[in-house]
């Protein structure tokens, strides 16, 4: 670890996730020597604040990475495919938040609480992939149970916030609510249907098997992160009119029996988890409570009475923080501590 800090670039700095990356770097006091902010033509020259200083946004280009130690990417998959290899060739280690490289066998897919050891594989291509938001929060909550009693199968339904889609989707939900209250016409550009006061069983595009890409990310990324090609996962991912925080109903079938009480005891001390499970007091994880927090909230822990070894739970986390920006910065923290 270097005493004077690291040169960090943020590609997609003006977006919903990029902005959160700056906030997390600041909140966790990441040792920064120089910070370079990159985005599209549209934002060049725009100034963003970091620790009281104004920093001008520069163009994301292949030559923007000279002297950079770690490049945090969050400008969409096509930008990552175009620019991450150039950043790595310039000597930066890329932590990529898009779906571009996640299933590449040469690129590690990392949740620091779950498989930090995989980071060592970054040397192959100079890129580390940050998993999908819905997958990350589920992994954080399930890891202690997986290690203790084994998990055979996961059935998950998600209730995902609009911020996952980006800054323009946050605007769309706000505008639709305003239009509804004012009795005006509701316009949808980002989503194929009105999202205000609605639920859309459609996140990312549809595949030939009838599932969405988002659903299949949860299946394939879970297997890669747990390094378990046999674990069964089936997902239904739904967009709900919430700004920040994905909620998930998760049902697991374990290899060995575990009681709800034992799950609560395990999760009470699990890294990155906050147990919120006093339903008699109306205390359970809520999207509104997770916004801005680093922890993944877990509650409504119950035994599934329809099978021998089953548990139900409700898992909620800030999709922009643990689901994206925080997880990426945590990966960078392990990198500088153990490898750079
Ligand atoms: O894979 P795709 O389809 O390309 O997906 C891209 C989308 O993924 C989001 C991101 O949302 C983007 O919309 N995204 C990224 N990581 C994600 C994650 N982990 C994620 N979503 C969920 N989970 P965003 O709007 O929050 O961030 C966009 C950032 O990317 C920069 N960018 C876009 N194109 C670029 C580029 N940078 C370099 N080269 C390019 N060609 C983008 O910078 C932003 O930082 P920007 O300068 O283009 O946008 C500044 C602001 O402009 C607004 N805006 C967005 N779209 C439009 C727009 N304004 C006018 N017209 C538009 N069409 C936004 O408010 C943005 O903040
Ligand atoms: O794969 O629209 O990181 O909520 C996660 C959230 C893609 C889009 C990813 C959304 C994304 C998505």
pLDDT in tens, 18-65: 999 999 999 999 999 999 999 999 999 999 999 999 999 999 999 999
Looking at the CA of 12, which ligand is closest?
Answer: 1
With a CB cutoff of 8 Å and minimum separation 6, the contacts of 230 are none
Q: Are strands 32-39 and 6-11 parallel, antiparallel or unpaired?
A: parallel
Per-residue pLDDT at 96 exceeds 90: yes
Q: Which of 114, 108, 74 lies closest to 296 in space, CA to CA?
A: 114
pTM of the model: 0.93
The closest-lying atom of ligand 1 relative to the alpha carbon of residue 323 is 19
Per-residue pLDDT at 3 exceeds 80: no
Instruction: Write the pLDDT tens digit of every residue in 176-217.
Output: 999 999 999 999 999 999 999 999 999 999 999 999 999 999
What is the crossing angle of helices 326-338 and 16-27, to 10°?
50
Q: H or E segment at 127?
A: strand 127-129
Catalytic residue ranges: 133, 246
pLDDT at 2: 77
With a CB cutoff of 8 Å and minimum separation 6, the contacts of 175 are 187
pLDDT at 311: 98
165 is in an annotated binding site: no
Contact 99 CB / ligand 2 (< 6 Å):
yes
């Amino acid at each position: 670890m270097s005493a004077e800090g690291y040169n960090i670039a943020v590609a997609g700095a003006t977006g919903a996730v990029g902005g959160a990356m700056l906030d997390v770097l600041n909140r966790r006091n990441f040792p920064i020597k120089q910070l370079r902010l990159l985005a599209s033509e549209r934002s060049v020259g725009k100034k963003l604040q970091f620790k009281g200083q104004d920093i001008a946004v520069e163009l994301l280009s292949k030559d923007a990475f000279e002297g950079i130690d770690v490049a945090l990417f969050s400008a969409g998959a096509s930008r990552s495919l175009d620019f991450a290899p150039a950043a790595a060739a310039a000597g930066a280690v890329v932590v990529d938040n898009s779906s571009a490289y996640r299933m590449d066998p040469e690129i590690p897919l990392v949740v620091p609480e779950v498989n930090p050891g995989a980071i060592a594989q970054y040397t192959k291509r100079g890129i580390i992939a940050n998993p999908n938001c819905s997958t990350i929060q589920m992994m954080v909550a399930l890891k202690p149970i997986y290690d203790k009693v084994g998990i055979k199968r996961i059935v998950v339904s998600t209730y995902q916030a609009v911020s996952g889609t980006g800054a323009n989707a946050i605007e769309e939900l706000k505008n639709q609510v305003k239009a509804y209250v004012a009795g005006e016409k509701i316009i949808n550009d980002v989503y194929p249907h009105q999202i205000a006061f609605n639920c859309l069983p459609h996140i990312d595009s549809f595949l030939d098997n009838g599932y969405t890409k988002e659903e299949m990310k949860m299946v394939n990324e879970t297997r890669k992160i747990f390094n378990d090609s046999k674990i069964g996962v089936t997902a239904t991912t739904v967009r709900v009119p919430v700004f920040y925080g994905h909620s998930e109903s998760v049902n697991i079938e374990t290899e060995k029996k575990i009681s709800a009480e034992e799950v609560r005891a395990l999760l009470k001390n699990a890294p990155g988890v906050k147990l919120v499970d006093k339903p008699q007091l109306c205390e359970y994880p809520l999207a509104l409570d997770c916004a801005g927090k680093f922890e993944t909230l877990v509650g409504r822990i119950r035994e599934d009475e329809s099978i021998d070894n089953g548990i139900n739970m409700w898992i909620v986390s800030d999709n922009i923080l643990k689901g994206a920006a925080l997880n990426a910065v945590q990966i960078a923290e392990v990198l500088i501590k153990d490898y750079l």
